[in-house]
Structure 1
Amino acid sequence: MRAAVLDGPESIDVRETERPTPDPGEATIAVEASAVCGGDVEAYHEGPPGKDSVVPGHEVVGRVAEVGDGVTDLTTGDRVGVPWLHEACGRCVACSRGDEQMCPDREITGTDVDGGHAETLRAPAAYVHEIPEAFEPVETAPLLCAGVTAHNGLRAAGASAEDRVAIQGIGGLGHLGVQVADAMGADVIAVSRGEDGRDAALELGADRYVDAEAVDVAETLQELGGADAALSTVPAGEAMSTLVGGLAENGTLAVVGAPSDPIELSARHLLDGDRAVVGASSGTRAERERHLAFCARHDIAPWTEEFPLRDVETALEAVEDGTVRFRAVLVP
């Protein structure tokens, strides 16, 4: 089979590899779509962590090709999704309290084990998600990480109907955050740099657009009454800091971007208004199931651009350059 093998920093090659077979409790999946995440771009530059090579990709939809011994809830031909979390131990403190994504012994799809930028991958049957036939593979794959991450961030920020909710960054994560917040019934304020994103943000469901290049974001949000909840999807701590200043009293900023620079906070601003800053992760199996059901009810789908598997480097470059609107998806 063909797979995109990352075998060093900025060294990824689509080549013939051995097709995997399922161990007991596992299934092999014939890939229909594998979305490209920002984490894939980071891995591309850094190389495979602690190993010679790996096949990236952790937002995957395909059909079950074969099941291993002991698998009774999947059959050949079922459409399934393979997410970021490959497997957790099920015994540690984090797993015991329901936070399997925080398991210290977790394995990550496309990092610790081969992922979906390939024609076939294998995964534990207990960690894949059955995908209804009505779901399009290319549109569904990004929901398995980007979608649920944005949704979890909004929940962590306490977003609810009629809240003023600021979404910073209208890209792979943010454009899904806008749709989810709109479906919640929130007053959605999209925040991004430049006027190029205005039309897309409003089409996605934002009620207002704030151009971060033209105005002071914190002041503008406060003039609107302050953000009751905010979600930052950008990889820039300086930009995130502006959202903190725009929070309403009792407002919460949820961070799902991963900046290399620090977020600057005013302790007085937090204390005086009972404001908070929290992080949000990609979520559990149960949260992913709820997110998929929510998207089905509200007709939420990512904006995608398809790339053939052989053009994996082109897709990675497009994601890094921000030229994709808004999620690149590889198809074998």
Structure 2
Amino acid sequence: MDIQLDTAPCGYVSLSDAGIILSVNQTFAHMLACERDELFGRHIESAMSVTNKLFFHTYFYPYIRLYGHVNEMCFSLRTGGGEEVPVLLNGVRQERGGVAVIDCVVLLMRKRMEYEKDMLLTKSRLEELYRATNEANKRLEQLHAEYERKQQELMLVNERLEAMASTDPLTGLRNRRHFQESLLANLASFRASGEPFSLLIFDIDHFKHINDTYGHPAGDRMLVNLAGLLQSLSRAGDIVARFGGEEFVAILPATGREETMLRAEAYRAAAADAAWEAQRITISIGAATASAADTEETILHRADLALYASKHGGRNRSTHADHMPAGG
């Protein structure tokens, strides 16, 4: 870390995606009244009170994962001696060396944040209620019930944020991020149990021609309609997602090679027979069934090669990676 950043008039801290401190400058260490080496490897929440941890979980993590950045977040850090240090935080989530990191700039605040005043006021009111009469105790119970309701509402908000972060906004299917997480989970389950699963990649044939002929709005409607068709033909445990552009993917748990090809043909035939808004379309499909040697990259690569074979072989067809034609 160069001397300018190390002694800058603001704190700098770099976190892993899980919140582990990777590096800090001297200014940040000075804010917390500790040596820099004491912070490395600790979770950032270890320097927070319980209340601030809740605030951090409620706002920082959902926003940084949803939008990739957080601006002007006010909360407090806690020094090793227990002193509260009010700060203003800006953060950005980005990849460095193929690993997601969160870089944050931390500025000391000279006045307490409004939420701290609210918490102090609430604490004071609770203390008064505990010392009051039976009527006040009833009021306290009402406040606790309201608090529980707020907690439930907060959980619902977080669930909605998480759903937004894993959903493709155009088609309503799961997005690429959710698909990749599900693919890793299915690979781990396969290694543990040996139960096979399969992967399908769908691509609309001549989709550029549809956009060029009928316009992008018509192309978007075609994507939405195909997404609905794929979802309607899928089982409850299947993961159907938009991979990007006109490509879709599906993870088929507990599905071997032969059943996978039957499923792929059902998808292909339904698309070919459907009544579409603009014109008749077809889809090409590449399939791969997990093997002991597979990683996330290799099973995707095998399914993609099978998709290429379907395209190269005339489109409107399904190809399994284990049945590639000669030279495919």
TM-score band w.r.t. shorter chain: under 0.3
> Relative contact order (alpha carbons < 8 A, sep ≥ 6): 1 or 2 greater?
1
Relative to its length, the structure with more strand (as a share) is 1
> Could you tell me the TM-score, scaled by structure 2's length?
0.25
> Could you tell me the TM-score, scaled by structure 1's length?
0.25
Relative to its length, the structure with more helix (as a share) is 2
